[in-house]
Homo-oligomer: A and B are copies of this chain.
Amino acid sequence: MKLKVEENNYEINIGQNIDQELKDYLSKNKNRKIALISDEYVYFIYRNRLHNILCDFDYDIFTFPQGEKSKSMKTYSEILEFLSENDYSRGDVILAFGGGITGDLAGFVASTYLRGINFIAVPTTLLSMIDSSVGGKNGINFNGLKNQVGTFYFPEYVHIDYSFLDTLKKRDLNNGLAEMFKYSVLKDKNLFEILKNNEKLDYEYLIHRSLEIKIEFVKDDIRDKSIRQHLNLGHTIGHGIEGLSKYEINHGEAVGIGLIYVSRAAYKLGIASEPFYKDLIEEFKKYNLPTEYDFKTDEILEIMKHDKKIKDNKINLIIPTEIGNTISKTLSFNELKNIIELGKEI
Protein backbone atom coordinates (compact mmCIF):
# COMPACT_ATOMS: atom_id res chain seq x y z
CA MET A 1 0.00 0.00 0.00
CA LYS A 2 1.56 3.27 -1.06
CA LEU A 3 1.00 6.81 0.17
CA LYS A 4 2.40 9.72 -1.79
CA VAL A 5 3.13 12.93 0.12
CA GLU A 6 2.98 15.28 -2.84
CA GLU A 7 3.60 18.44 -0.83
CA ASN A 8 6.99 17.28 0.38
CA ASN A 9 7.81 14.98 -2.46
CA TYR A 10 8.22 11.61 -0.83
CA GLU A 11 6.62 8.21 -0.86
CA ILE A 12 5.59 5.94 1.99
CA ASN A 13 5.43 2.23 1.27
CA ILE A 14 3.50 0.08 3.75
CA GLY A 15 3.55 -3.72 3.65
CA GLN A 16 4.64 -6.97 5.21
CA ASN A 17 7.90 -8.73 4.33
CA ILE A 18 8.72 -6.28 1.57
CA ASP A 19 12.54 -6.37 1.73
CA GLN A 20 12.67 -6.87 -2.03
CA GLU A 21 10.83 -3.58 -2.55
CA LEU A 22 13.44 -1.75 -0.50
CA LYS A 23 16.15 -3.44 -2.52
CA ASP A 24 14.43 -2.40 -5.76
CA TYR A 25 14.14 1.16 -4.51
CA LEU A 26 17.83 1.32 -3.65
CA SER A 27 18.75 -0.19 -7.02
CA LYS A 28 17.42 2.89 -8.79
CA ASN A 29 20.60 4.70 -7.66
CA LYS A 30 23.23 1.99 -7.66
CA ASN A 31 26.13 4.43 -7.43
CA ARG A 32 25.19 5.92 -4.09
CA LYS A 33 26.95 4.82 -0.96
CA ILE A 34 24.55 3.88 1.84
CA ALA A 35 25.21 4.77 5.49
CA LEU A 36 23.11 2.47 7.63
CA ILE A 37 22.39 4.06 11.01
CA SER A 38 20.85 1.86 13.67
CA ASP A 39 20.97 1.07 17.34
CA GLU A 40 23.05 -1.90 18.44
CA TYR A 41 20.09 -3.96 19.57
CA VAL A 42 17.87 -3.57 16.50
CA TYR A 43 20.86 -4.01 14.21
CA PHE A 44 21.80 -7.21 16.03
CA ILE A 45 18.32 -8.69 15.64
CA TYR A 46 18.06 -7.89 11.93
CA ARG A 47 21.69 -8.04 10.81
CA ASN A 48 21.11 -10.94 8.42
CA ARG A 49 18.03 -9.45 6.84
CA LEU A 50 19.85 -6.12 6.49
CA HIS A 51 22.89 -7.70 4.87
CA ASN A 52 20.64 -9.46 2.40
CA ILE A 53 19.03 -6.15 1.50
CA LEU A 54 22.31 -4.25 1.25
CA CYS A 55 24.75 -6.84 -0.09
CA ASP A 56 24.62 -5.51 -3.66
CA PHE A 57 25.49 -1.97 -2.59
CA ASP A 58 28.45 -0.07 -1.22
CA TYR A 59 27.45 0.49 2.40
CA ASP A 60 28.81 1.27 5.87
CA ILE A 61 27.27 0.66 9.27
CA PHE A 62 27.10 2.92 12.31
CA THR A 63 25.41 1.66 15.47
CA PHE A 64 24.92 3.29 18.86
CA PRO A 65 23.65 2.05 22.23
CA GLN A 66 19.88 1.72 22.37
CA GLY A 67 17.97 4.26 24.44
CA GLU A 68 17.05 7.90 24.84
CA LYS A 69 20.54 8.71 26.14
CA SER A 70 21.92 8.29 22.62
CA LYS A 71 19.74 11.10 21.30
CA SER A 72 22.54 13.44 22.25
CA MET A 73 24.97 15.98 20.84
CA LYS A 74 27.67 13.36 21.40
CA THR A 75 26.11 10.67 19.19
CA TYR A 76 25.13 13.32 16.63
CA SER A 77 28.79 14.40 16.38
CA GLU A 78 29.98 10.79 16.21
CA ILE A 79 27.72 10.03 13.25
CA LEU A 80 28.89 13.19 11.45
CA GLU A 81 32.47 12.09 12.03
CA PHE A 82 31.70 8.63 10.71
CA LEU A 83 30.27 10.11 7.50
CA SER A 84 33.17 12.51 7.08
CA GLU A 85 35.82 9.86 7.73
CA ASN A 86 34.17 7.61 5.16
CA ASP A 87 34.05 10.42 2.58
CA TYR A 88 30.28 10.50 2.25
CA SER A 89 29.17 13.09 -0.31
CA ARG A 90 25.87 14.86 -0.88
CA GLY A 91 24.88 12.36 -3.53
CA ASP A 92 25.06 9.47 -1.07
CA VAL A 93 22.27 8.42 1.27
CA ILE A 94 21.60 7.80 4.95
CA LEU A 95 19.31 4.89 5.80
CA ALA A 96 17.84 5.05 9.30
CA PHE A 97 16.82 1.64 10.56
CA GLY A 98 15.10 1.56 13.94
CA GLY A 99 12.67 3.37 16.18
CA GLY A 100 12.02 7.04 16.76
CA ILE A 101 15.37 7.70 18.41
CA THR A 102 17.23 6.36 15.39
CA GLY A 103 15.04 8.27 12.95
CA ASP A 104 15.32 11.54 14.87
CA LEU A 105 19.09 11.27 15.23
CA ALA A 106 19.76 10.14 11.67
CA GLY A 107 17.32 12.69 10.25
CA PHE A 108 19.06 15.52 12.07
CA VAL A 109 22.40 14.29 10.78
CA ALA A 110 20.99 13.98 7.24
CA SER A 111 19.65 17.52 7.29
CA THR A 112 22.93 19.08 8.43
CA TYR A 113 25.76 16.96 7.00
CA LEU A 114 27.00 18.94 3.97
CA ARG A 115 23.85 21.04 4.49
CA GLY A 116 21.68 18.07 3.59
CA ILE A 117 22.19 14.57 2.24
CA ASN A 118 19.60 12.08 0.97
CA PHE A 119 17.61 10.31 3.65
CA ILE A 120 15.57 7.10 3.80
CA ALA A 121 13.61 6.09 6.88
CA VAL A 122 12.90 2.45 7.74
CA PRO A 123 10.99 2.59 11.03
CA THR A 124 10.85 -0.64 13.02
CA THR A 125 8.56 0.28 15.93
CA LEU A 126 4.84 0.95 15.71
CA LEU A 127 5.28 4.41 17.18
CA SER A 128 7.89 5.48 14.64
CA MET A 129 5.87 3.90 11.80
CA ILE A 130 2.82 6.00 12.55
CA ASP A 131 4.48 9.14 13.82
CA SER A 132 8.09 10.26 13.72
CA SER A 133 9.07 8.68 10.38
CA VAL A 134 6.58 10.97 8.66
CA GLY A 135 6.25 14.74 8.96
CA GLY A 136 9.88 15.79 8.78
CA LYS A 137 10.62 16.59 12.42
CA ASN A 138 13.92 15.38 13.79
CA GLY A 139 16.17 16.29 16.69
CA ILE A 140 18.25 15.50 19.71
CA ASN A 141 17.76 16.14 23.41
CA PHE A 142 19.81 18.95 24.84
CA ASN A 143 20.41 20.46 28.25
CA GLY A 144 18.06 17.88 29.76
CA LEU A 145 15.21 18.86 27.43
CA LYS A 146 13.59 16.79 24.71
CA ASN A 147 14.12 17.61 21.03
CA GLN A 148 15.53 21.04 21.82
CA VAL A 149 17.79 20.94 18.78
CA GLY A 150 16.77 19.72 15.34
CA THR A 151 15.29 20.68 11.99
CA PHE A 152 12.41 20.02 9.64
CA TYR A 153 13.72 17.77 6.88
CA PHE A 154 11.96 15.22 4.73
CA PRO A 155 13.09 11.74 3.75
CA GLU A 156 12.96 10.80 0.09
CA TYR A 157 11.36 7.46 0.94
CA VAL A 158 9.76 5.84 4.00
CA HIS A 159 9.73 2.05 4.02
CA ILE A 160 7.26 0.62 6.56
CA ASP A 161 7.42 -3.14 6.90
CA TYR A 162 5.24 -4.18 9.81
CA SER A 163 6.82 -7.60 9.93
CA PHE A 164 9.45 -5.79 12.03
CA LEU A 165 6.80 -5.48 14.73
CA ASP A 166 7.10 -9.24 15.36
CA THR A 167 10.17 -8.69 17.52
CA LEU A 168 8.72 -5.74 19.42
CA LYS A 169 7.98 -6.14 23.11
CA LYS A 170 4.31 -5.91 24.06
CA ARG A 171 4.93 -2.70 25.98
CA ASP A 172 6.56 -1.07 22.96
CA LEU A 173 3.71 -2.12 20.72
CA ASN A 174 1.20 -0.60 23.12
CA ASN A 175 3.32 2.53 23.19
CA GLY A 176 2.41 2.96 19.52
CA LEU A 177 -1.25 2.20 20.13
CA ALA A 178 -1.48 5.10 22.59
CA GLU A 179 -0.43 7.46 19.81
CA MET A 180 -2.99 5.78 17.57
CA PHE A 181 -5.69 6.52 20.12
CA LYS A 182 -4.56 10.13 19.91
CA TYR A 183 -5.19 10.13 16.14
CA SER A 184 -8.64 8.69 16.68
CA VAL A 185 -9.54 11.35 19.26
CA LEU A 186 -8.22 14.00 16.93
CA LYS A 187 -10.10 13.03 13.84
CA ASP A 188 -11.67 9.61 13.51
CA LYS A 189 -14.49 8.00 15.53
CA ASN A 190 -14.30 4.94 13.32
CA LEU A 191 -10.62 4.39 14.16
CA PHE A 192 -11.51 4.64 17.84
CA GLU A 193 -14.18 1.97 17.43
CA ILE A 194 -11.76 -0.31 15.61
CA LEU A 195 -9.15 0.05 18.37
CA LYS A 196 -11.87 -0.59 20.92
CA ASN A 197 -13.30 -3.70 19.31
CA ASN A 198 -10.55 -5.30 17.37
CA GLU A 199 -9.23 -8.58 18.67
CA LYS A 200 -6.56 -8.98 16.02
CA LEU A 201 -5.21 -5.66 14.84
CA ASP A 202 -4.98 -5.04 11.09
CA TYR A 203 -1.67 -3.15 11.03
CA GLU A 204 -1.74 -2.34 7.36
CA TYR A 205 -5.01 -0.45 7.76
CA LEU A 206 -4.15 1.10 11.15
CA ILE A 207 -0.76 2.42 10.02
CA HIS A 208 -2.17 3.73 6.75
CA ARG A 209 -5.08 5.49 8.44
CA SER A 210 -2.88 7.00 11.16
CA LEU A 211 -0.49 8.40 8.56
CA GLU A 212 -3.36 9.80 6.50
CA ILE A 213 -4.50 11.76 9.54
CA LYS A 214 -0.99 12.94 10.35
CA ILE A 215 -0.30 14.09 6.80
CA GLU A 216 -3.57 16.02 6.71
CA PHE A 217 -2.41 18.11 9.67
CA VAL A 218 1.17 18.51 8.47
CA LYS A 219 0.79 19.32 4.80
CA ASP A 220 -0.27 22.95 5.06
CA ASP A 221 1.79 23.77 8.14
CA ILE A 222 5.13 22.01 8.01
CA ARG A 223 6.81 24.40 10.43
CA ASP A 224 4.22 23.80 13.13
CA LYS A 225 2.79 27.29 13.45
CA SER A 226 -0.96 26.59 13.31
CA ILE A 227 -3.04 23.54 12.33
CA ARG A 228 -0.17 21.04 12.84
CA GLN A 229 -0.14 21.90 16.53
CA HIS A 230 -3.31 19.81 16.92
CA LEU A 231 -1.08 16.74 16.54
CA ASN A 232 0.31 17.84 19.89
CA LEU A 233 -2.83 16.59 21.62
CA GLY A 234 -1.67 14.94 24.85
CA HIS A 235 1.91 16.01 24.25
CA THR A 236 2.10 19.18 26.33
CA ILE A 237 1.51 17.32 29.58
CA GLY A 238 2.98 14.13 28.06
CA HIS A 239 6.40 15.64 27.40
CA GLY A 240 6.46 16.87 30.98
CA ILE A 241 5.69 13.40 32.32
CA GLU A 242 8.31 11.82 30.08
CA GLY A 243 10.90 14.25 31.42
CA LEU A 244 9.88 13.92 35.07
CA SER A 245 10.03 10.13 34.84
CA LYS A 246 13.48 10.41 33.26
CA TYR A 247 12.06 8.50 30.29
CA GLU A 248 10.95 5.54 32.46
CA ILE A 249 7.51 6.30 31.06
CA ASN A 250 7.95 6.07 27.31
CA HIS A 251 6.69 8.53 24.74
CA GLY A 252 3.40 6.92 23.73
CA GLU A 253 2.53 6.09 27.33
CA ALA A 254 3.22 9.65 28.42
CA VAL A 255 1.15 11.08 25.57
CA GLY A 256 -1.64 8.70 26.57
CA ILE A 257 -1.58 9.93 30.17
CA GLY A 258 -1.45 13.53 28.88
CA LEU A 259 -4.50 12.79 26.74
CA ILE A 260 -6.41 11.47 29.75
CA TYR A 261 -5.51 14.48 31.92
CA VAL A 262 -6.55 16.99 29.30
CA SER A 263 -9.76 15.04 28.61
CA ARG A 264 -10.65 14.94 32.29
CA ALA A 265 -10.00 18.68 32.54
CA ALA A 266 -12.20 19.21 29.47
CA TYR A 267 -15.01 17.39 31.24
CA LYS A 268 -14.57 19.49 34.37
CA LEU A 269 -14.57 22.64 32.27
CA GLY A 270 -17.86 21.52 30.78
CA ILE A 271 -16.63 21.19 27.21
CA ALA A 272 -16.50 17.38 27.03
CA SER A 273 -18.67 14.64 28.46
CA GLU A 274 -17.81 12.39 31.40
CA PRO A 275 -18.11 9.10 29.45
CA PHE A 276 -15.55 10.46 26.98
CA TYR A 277 -12.56 10.46 29.33
CA LYS A 278 -13.78 7.43 31.23
CA ASP A 279 -14.01 5.50 27.99
CA LEU A 280 -10.42 6.40 27.22
CA ILE A 281 -9.24 5.17 30.61
CA GLU A 282 -11.07 1.90 30.13
CA GLU A 283 -9.56 1.31 26.70
CA PHE A 284 -6.05 2.20 27.89
CA LYS A 285 -6.36 -0.33 30.68
CA LYS A 286 -7.26 -3.03 28.18
CA TYR A 287 -3.96 -2.38 26.41
CA ASN A 288 -2.04 -2.22 29.70
CA LEU A 289 -1.32 1.45 29.15
CA PRO A 290 -0.75 3.58 32.26
CA THR A 291 -3.52 6.10 32.91
CA GLU A 292 -1.95 8.27 35.57
CA TYR A 293 1.35 9.56 36.88
CA ASP A 294 2.06 11.20 40.19
CA PHE A 295 3.71 14.61 39.82
CA LYS A 296 3.79 18.07 41.35
CA THR A 297 2.16 20.64 39.07
CA ASP A 298 4.97 23.16 39.59
CA GLU A 299 7.59 20.63 38.53
CA ILE A 300 5.82 19.87 35.29
CA LEU A 301 5.28 23.57 34.57
CA GLU A 302 9.03 24.09 34.86
CA ILE A 303 9.54 21.64 31.97
CA MET A 304 6.74 23.18 29.94
CA LYS A 305 8.47 26.54 29.99
CA HIS A 306 10.77 25.04 27.37
CA ASP A 307 7.96 23.97 25.06
CA LYS A 308 8.98 24.82 21.49
CA LYS A 309 5.72 26.53 20.66
CA ILE A 310 5.67 29.12 23.43
CA LYS A 311 5.18 32.67 22.18
CA ASP A 312 4.99 35.79 24.35
CA ASN A 313 4.84 33.59 27.44
CA LYS A 314 1.70 31.91 26.17
CA ILE A 315 1.35 28.24 25.33
CA ASN A 316 -1.14 26.57 23.02
CA LEU A 317 -2.95 23.64 24.56
CA ILE A 318 -4.95 21.26 22.39
CA ILE A 319 -8.14 20.16 24.18
CA PRO A 320 -10.48 17.39 23.00
CA THR A 321 -14.22 17.99 23.14
CA GLU A 322 -15.34 14.56 21.88
CA ILE A 323 -13.93 11.67 19.87
CA GLY A 324 -12.96 13.24 16.55
CA ASN A 325 -12.82 16.86 17.67
CA THR A 326 -10.29 19.18 19.33
CA ILE A 327 -9.90 22.88 20.00
CA SER A 328 -6.74 24.96 20.47
CA LYS A 329 -6.51 27.33 23.46
CA THR A 330 -3.80 29.94 23.99
CA LEU A 331 -3.08 30.00 27.71
CA SER A 332 -0.92 31.83 30.21
CA PHE A 333 1.08 29.58 32.52
CA ASN A 334 -1.35 30.33 35.32
CA GLU A 335 -4.28 29.16 33.21
CA LEU A 336 -2.30 26.08 32.19
CA LYS A 337 -1.61 25.35 35.84
CA ASN A 338 -5.33 25.37 36.59
CA ILE A 339 -6.05 22.99 33.75
CA ILE A 340 -3.37 20.55 34.89
CA GLU A 341 -4.85 20.63 38.38
CA LEU A 342 -8.29 19.94 36.93
CA GLY A 343 -6.83 17.05 34.97
CA LYS A 344 -5.66 15.24 38.07
CA GLU A 345 -8.00 12.69 39.54
CA ILE A 346 -9.39 13.74 42.89
Contacts and interface: CB of A to CB of B under 8 A. Distances in A.
Contact of A116 (B143, B152, B310): B152
Interface in A51-79: 73, 77
A40 B310 CA distance: 31
Interface size class of A (residues with CB under 8 A): 35 or more
Contact of A308 (B31, B108, B115): B115
A94 B228 CA distance: 24
Interface in A122-150: 137, 139, 142-143, 145, 147-150
Contact of A143 (B31, B84, B89): B84
A203 B182 CA distance: 57
B310 A113 contact: no
Interface string A205-229: 0000000000000000001100000
Contact of A84 (B85, B114, B145): B145
Q: How many copies does the complex hold?
A: 2
A112 B137 CA distance: 11
Contacts of A145: 84
Nearest to A136: B115
Nearest to A81: B143
Contacts of A152: 115-116
B306 A80 contact: no
B87 A306 contact: yes
A231 to B, nearest CB: 14
A246 interface: no
A311 interface: yes
A139 B311 CA distance: 27
B308 A142 contact: no
Given A31-B312, A312-B31, A312-B91, A84 B115 contact: no
Interface of A: 31, 73, 77, 80-81, 84-85, 87, 89-91, 108, 111-116, 137, 139, 142-143, 145, 147-152, 223-224, 305-312
